Amino acid sequence: MPKRHSKRIFKKTARPHRSPVKKTTPPKRLFEEETGHRLQKILAVAGFGSRRHCEELIEQGRVEVDGVVARLGCKVDPVQSEIKVDGERLKKTKPVYLALFKPKGYLCTDRDQQGRARTLDLVPSSFGRLFLIGRLDMDSEGLILLTNDGALSERLTHPKYGVPKVYRVQVAGELTQDSLEQLRKGTYLAEGFAKVSDAVIKGRHKKSTILDITLSEGMNREVRRLLARLGHKVLTLIRIAVGPVKLGKLTPGEWRHLTRQEIDRLFASNSSR
């Protein structure tokens, strides 16, 4: 028998009248989740210390945004919002990134009770508070980076990032390839094990050797102490590079602004570590 096809009849029912939906703009949230910058980064750029230290300030309830105690991880528009730390309004500062040729005889310190010359004295005070990146002892010279960006300062000084620093060194006596290999293998100093990432002889002058030494982690006067273990006194020591930034044509006491490309490459330095 042929199959019977039943037809279903649906009655049209009147739909209730609905007024058109009125689109409303959601109220502006105090702490934006998708826009703005993380609060700890803003504080770090303003010179309140490393990003971790700024996180601690927020966790301790010492930071307010538009009159409300901030929470860790919030994003804020520093142009639109009023930010206070310990009740004091945050001044809007422009990020500063400088390269400086530190001469001999200058101290890499924020304060000196004896009133000796400081590296910070070589740049205009109008820049405000600056962090010194890659300190050099008084007898050494060469490239120093300065910034008010605490996040970049932390990245360039924390050992886990291993940002390489290159030194042009002249030592008394004649270094051999065996000596270079000993520098690469390393030795124990008072603070722990130390070694160079690379060492290359660049030339010889009378009874001295000129070489380039690369460090990824630095201890106090590390280059001088490692070479002293090999019986060689350092005659001159000039830092010629910090990561992608080169000393270039700067002369002692001279400074310049970093380029946008240099800044981006510094932030990207060993980010995969």
pLDDT of 49: 80
- Average pLDDT rounded to a whole number, residues 184-191: 88
pLDDT tens digits for 3-50? 454 444 444 444 444 444 333 333 343 443 344 678 888 888 777 888
Given the residues 137, 139, 198, 212, the one annotated as active site: 137
Alpha carbon distance 199, 171 (integer Å): 13
- All domains of the chain, ordered by start, with CATH? 37-89 (3.10.290.10), 97-268 (3.30.2350.10)
Q: How many CB atoms within 10 Å of residue 198?
A: 15
Alpha carbon distance 271, 231 (integer Å): 37
For residue 160, give every residue at least 6 positions away whose Cβ sits within 8 Å of its Cβ, in sequence order, or none.
Answer: 273
pLDDT of 162: 79
Please indicate whether residue 86 is annotated as part of the active site.
no
Alpha carbon distance 214, 210 (integer Å): 14
pLDDT of 184: 93
Q: How far is CA 261 from the centre of its chain?
A: 14
pLDDT of 91: 76
pLDDT of 8: 46
